Amino acid sequence: MPEDEYGWLRIAVSEFGRQCRRKLSGGGGQESSIRGPLEALLRAVGDHHQHREVTWHDEFRLADLGVRPDYAIRANGEITGYIELKKPGLSVDPDTFGKAQWT
């Protein structure tokens, strides 16, 4: 039987969920509570793709757009995407984000 090529990801996402549940039960800020679990998930992805250097940068300002996403993701030295965290229960549809949420 071939090895499940996505088993590592299922494990990492399950652990992310466990850590989020634990952190969110502590009474702190909901959005800030999921930062640590997200960073652990990003680390797991980076570790899995050992041939790629994966790093992230907090509160990365995009001056030309006037926004500051929660994270910029860098792979092999290039910015490859951005992550905007939202506390549980808020919409993740970017069309619903106000400009104040990005600055």
**Residues counted in the chain:** 103
Q: Which residue has the tokens 């996403």?
A: 69
- The domain segmentation of the chain, as residue ranges, is 7-90
pLDDT > 70 fraction of the chain, expressed in percent and rounded: 89
pLDDT (tens digit, 9 = 90+) per residue, 50-76? 767 888 999 999 999 888 899 999 988
DSSP the chain: ----TTHHHHHHHHHHHHHHHHHHTTSS-HHHHTHHHHHHHHHHHHHHSTTS-EEEEET--BTTTTB--SEEEEETTEEEEEE----TTS---GGG--HHHH-
pLDDT > 90 fraction of the chain, expressed in percent and rounded: 47
